[in-house]
Amino acid sequence: MGDELVRVNGREPTDVIEYQQLVDGEHVTLEVLRAGDETARTVTIDKEPGQPLGLSIDSAVFDRIRTCDNHCSFCFIYQLPKGMRRSLYVKDDDFRLSFLYGNFTTLTRFTEFDLERVVEERLSPLFVSIHTTNPTLRAEMLRNPRGATSLRWLHELLDHGIEVHGQVVVCPGVNDGVELERTLEDVITAYPDLASLALVPVGVSDFSLEETMRPHRRDEARHVVELAQRFDELSRTVLGRSLVFASDEFYLVAGLAPPRAAALATLDLAENGIGMVAAFRDSFERHRAMPRLGSGFFQSVDGAPAWGYRAQRTTLSDPVAGDGVVVLTGEYAAPLLRELLDEHGFDEVDVVPVANAYFGGNIKVAGLLTGRDLAEALARVDPAATCLIPDVCLNEGRFLDGTTLEDLGRPVTCVRTTGHDLRMTLESLRAPHDALVGS
């Protein structure tokens, strides 16, 4: 316990990717520095190729996270209130975290050496923030002159067969309208090998100091959806596949129903907000497992594992049946969940939308709910009811405001944020009642 791994096969790995490659063989030599010792000890391990060593690695990056030197006007990190835990204020622009956790990188700190490593080690897929293909506007949005030229790396990645998913954070009055049309045209013509392009709305909290940043109006969101649909149809005609997608959040802001699973080319983009509602509904209806959904922010915050996807959110426990069931969730998800439950005979379950007073603005996703807002909503719920909350708003048992489940003022049950898990939980809570009625 507490030993430091210095070298593997004579090399100092800089991250868990390199470590995993070094320990993959059948003969592994470790140099380990034991607590209190000044000289490292050498240990040789013989094992089957590919067999893990069983070591516990506490970080994905061993040298230093490559921080972001952009100062994007729309960056959510700049919109956080003071007093949150320090790790939440770290901006990364590290291609390794893009590969490991799905974080988006602008490529403004990408180098020839990085390209060589990505191509040689096939670090794919990667996730790239495009925002606009107008070089001048991109440099202005990123507040970094390298923003005008860094998309050249996107060409290189695609030319070398690396799978890349792109994203455009659409900011009204900045990179929407004519500029967004130009970006979509450029993507189809200049980056046809891009795996996907997601259009997502800018998140604006009450703590934003940017005068140019504001939430989308309904008509603006509707226009973005229409553009996405038009250019996706064009991509299917020209490229033979879907490429451009508007996030579910854009549909909700526009007052439109998010597309169902049958209308989507894939449900694999739910993590990026594309088809998230459809994937949840499909999982609920078909009793099918699905990847747990994220918040769209803080992909690899405190305790993120060296491999796998994010940190453990919290310790889950079986719910205890009470007098009624209440599901608490974000304002965007609440009406959709109500509709889904009614369609499948769970009309006795109450759904409570929780307003995000902590961040304010247009922040209405479940993944950014905080403990204090949940506690306030819970105070208005029948004390005898069984209360369910999605685990997506937790990270290592803590909410973004630093509070824990114990701070909510009453027992709650965390449910994995998938349709299948919610349905299984609701059916398990029905079972005792059904048994009682049957007797």
Tokens of 346: 């769970």
Provide the pLDDT confidence category of residue 303 given band limits of 50, 70 and 90: very low
Q: What percent of the chain has pLDDT over 90?
A: 62
User: Residue 278: is its pLDDT beyond 60?
Assistant: yes
Q: What integer is the mean pLDDT of 73-91?
A: 85
Task: State how far the Cα of 300 lies from the Cα of 309, in Å rounded to an integer.
Answer: 8
Per-residue pLDDT at 306: 43
Question: Which region, left, alpha or beta, applies to residue 98 given φ > 0 means left and ψ of -120 to 50 means alpha?
Answer: alpha
Q: pLDDT of 13-47, one tens digit each?
A: 888 888 888 888 888 999 988 876 778 889 898 98
Provide the pLDDT confidence category of residue 432 given band limits of 50, 70 and 90: low
Per-residue pLDDT at 396: 78
Per-residue pLDDT at 290: 63
Per-residue pLDDT at 1: 56
Region of poorest pLDDT, from 54-68, 233-247, 282-296, 324-338: 282-296
Per-residue pLDDT at 301: 39
Q: What integer is the mean pLDDT of 84-88?
A: 79
Q: What integer is the mean pLDDT of 95-117?
A: 93
**Tokens 């759904």 label which residue?**
351
Provide the pLDDT confidence category of residue 63 given band limits of 50, 70 and 90: confident
Per-residue pLDDT at 21: 87
Q: pLDDT of 211-264, one tens digit each?
A: 889 999 999 999 999 999 999 999 999 999 999 999 999 999 999 999 988 888
User: Residue 408: is its pLDDT beyond 80?
Assistant: yes
Per-residue pLDDT at 315: 65
Q: pLDDT of 107-157, one tens digit each?
A: 999 999 999 999 999 999 999 999 999 999 999 999 999 999 999 999 999
94 burial (CB, 10 Å; 0-12 / 13-18 / 19+) is buried
337 burial (CB, 10 Å; 0-12 / 13-18 / 19+) is buried
Q: What angle do CA 291, 309, 251 make, to 5 degrees?
A: 50
Centroid of chain to Cα 342? 28
Q: How many residues does the chain have?
A: 439
The residue among 186 and 13 whose pLDDT is bigger is: 186
Task: Identify the CATH number of the domain defined by range 77-256.
Answer: 3.80.30.10
Q: pLDDT of 322-351, one tens digit each?
A: 789 999 999 999 999 999 999 999 999 999
Q: What angle do CA 67, 73, 74 make, to 5 degrees?
A: 85
User: Residue 387: is its pLDDT beyond 70?
Assistant: yes
pTM comes to 0.88
| Complete edge-to-edge strand list for the sheet that includes strand 350-354 | 350-354, 325-330, 386-390, 413-415
Centroid of chain to Cα 322? 33
